[in-house]
Amino acid sequence: MGQNRVVIEHVSPQINCGQFPIKRTLGESIRISADIFSDGHDKLYANVLWKHKNHRSWKKEKMHFSGNDSWTAEFTPEKTGIYLYTVIAGIDHLSTWYSDLLKKIEASQPIMNDLKTGARLLKRLSRIKKIEEILQLIETEKGIELLKKPQTGKFLSTLFHNYPEEQFLTRYHKELEMEVSRIKARFSTWYELFPRSTSKRKGSHGTFKDCQKLLPEIASMGFDVLYFPPIHPIGIEHRKGKNNQIKSHKNDPGSPWAIGSKEGGHDAVHPQLGTLEDYRELHKEAKKFGIELALDLAFQCSPDHPYIKEHPEWFLWQPDGTVRYAENPPKKYQDIVPFDFECADWKSLWDELKRIVLFWCKSGVRIFRVDNPHTKPFAFWQWLIAEVKTDYPDTLFLSEAFTRPKVMQHLAKIGFDQSYTYFTWRNTKKELEDYFQELASSEYLRPNFWPNTPDILPQFLQQKKRQAYVARLVLAATASSNYGIYGPCFEYMEHSSLEENSEEYLNSEKYEIRHWEAPKETLKELIALVNAIRKGNAALQFTRNLTIIPNDNPQIISYAKQSPINDNLLMIVVCLDPQHTQSGWLSIPSEQLGLPTDQPYLVQDLLSGDKYMWQGNSAFIELNPFVIPAHIFKVCKKMIKEQQFDYFM
């Protein structure tokens, strides 16, 4: 302990002082930094140690000095699961000796004692052939010439990193964790629909077999996750009517989130949708189109859910003997009964809810969209997600928590793989820029951008303008690598709200079955194009790589995204004004993006196909929202010269 001279501080990244794991996906590297210093002027060396939690041996990555006592290293995890990483450092006696020796040789000072000191340092490594060669020559003129060679210094430095004096090493006092998930945690394209609204016959209840017929169309638009609201039996008691009316009529189907009836609960399928076997068949068919099914996980009950009678201890009861339904005063949700997570029998409640999730995992589900997780205990979610991933490590959980920022962030820390965000309500240039940069710096919250949801028809989309929908589509699909739309409301550009200053859809599918017929104009082709651009450009498959490009127009937002290996660069420009043509000058951070400033380069708009030659740090752009309110420029950094022509000699 007394011989350990090196100090290691501020190892990053880490969350809550190492309380929670940071997050990465396959193919995504992690950059570790630390402040490392010692007394005196000796040279240091440092390594990152990392390993999969299930492995015994550690791997080593050399850290590089980056100035001001800061050191960095980068590595890429090889498979999914939990990884551990930490930092070790020590005095690099060989490099220190070698550096001082060269200075003395340069100054023509006596070096015999220094050579013997170096020999002692090297003798413990004499089993290495190169060291034997240096030791034999070290006291001769040839040895001095050998020592002067730059490659010798590099060799000695590398040598000490590989064979350190372990008794003098300092090791960071924590082993930090990183959770590595499959790529879909980072890059996914979601489509939400109500399966009961998929029948071709007006007035009929849709089925899983009807959904199966829609798979080619959904796949052709480029979606790889198909998400359904709850597919379970719906309660009869206090069933909601159309447009959220308190009283329902005979044929009103009710809200899918009022789960449970005499026909079953959370592990049952609504009989009008089909059977559990039908659902499994849909799951298999979807896979053929590259689509995964996502299941809604809503841990709440209708007043006639079987749990109410079988486990009354799991609920709160009023003094008059009635079960307490959900409230958010003054709002009342008479068709929903929440669990009492403070009940005395909480452990059996937790176990039952875990059984439900594992039941659906056994049926093939690997993605869950979790309804309002912020209304259940954090400890429950941390336990449940860890338990499920023990048996099914490829399972993903999307948090639908439109709540306060710190609550949303904590849910991400404790295990949720993706999160809904405030993107839906970010409209101005400053709001969007600030939010994009905030999310791009997160080590644990993976945003999933939704321009609309069954609960939210944003006011920006209520303008009855195609260009408003296109702008929000491009923003969602390019700023975040995970995004989704609620359809067919989005591609059909449904814009009617329940009432003025409301974000509720008129005739919402939450309370009635809709019969959809495509209007003359839809966004299907454009959505397919945007999603094809996402799949064909690695830069759009990451979120934390966004760089704001300044411009001089408050109605235009511009940003760049570049792939991790810098072989794919896109610049996105979006007009935020759906009513007027807007223009301005981009101030391109050429050096940061690796662009030449003294030579022209080619950009191609992937939306229109148009090509332009740009040069320098500025470019003029103009967007007519009535044509298309966005550019997605693909940048070709280097122009082909005559020397690359086949017959150039």
- Candidates 383, 413, 388; CA nearest to 399 is 413
CB of 192 within 8 A of CB of 265? no
Q: Is 335 annotated as a binding residue?
A: yes
Name 102's Cβ contacts closer than 8 Å, sequence gap at least 6.
147, 148, 153
| Whole-angstrom distance, CA of residue 415 vs CA of residue 397 | 8
Q: Is 372 annotated as a binding residue?
A: yes
Helix (H, G, I), strand (E, B) or coil at 618: strand
Quick check: bond before 13 cis, omega within 30? yes
- Candidates 34, 32, 30; CA nearest to 8 is 34
295-312 as b/e: b if 16+ CB within 10 A: bbbbbbbbbbbbbbeebe
CA distances from 374 to 114, 236, 320, 371 (A): 66, 27, 29, 9
Q: Is 511 annotated as a binding residue?
A: yes
Out of 400, 417, 443, 491, the active site residue is: 400
The residue to which tokens 């839809």 are assigned: 522
- Candidates 357, 354, 312, 356; CA nearest to 337 is 312
Q: Is 240 annotated as a binding residue?
A: yes
**Residue 371 is a catalytic residue:** yes
Burial grade of 3 (CB within 10 A; 0-12, 13-18, 19 or more):
exposed
Out of 210, 224, 371, 512, the active site residue is: 371
- Candidates 424, 444, 426; CA nearest to 435 is 426
Burial grade of 578 (CB within 10 A; 0-12, 13-18, 19 or more):
buried
Helix (H, G, I), strand (E, B) or coil at 294: strand
CB of 562 within 8 A of CB of 593? yes
Q: Distance between the two ends of the chain, CA-based, in angstroms?
A: 67
- Candidates 127, 148, 577; CA nearest to 137 is 148
| Whole-angstrom distance, CA of residue 256 vs CA of residue 97 | 73
Measure CA 458 to chain center. Answer: 23
Q: Is 23 annotated as a binding residue?
A: no
Q: Residue 404 is encoded by which pair of tokens?
A: 């306060």
**Residue 400 is a catalytic residue:** yes
Q: What is the DSSP letter of 108?
A: T
Residues classed as catalytic: 371, 400
Q: Which residues define the annotated binding site? A: 240, 300, 335, 372, 510-511
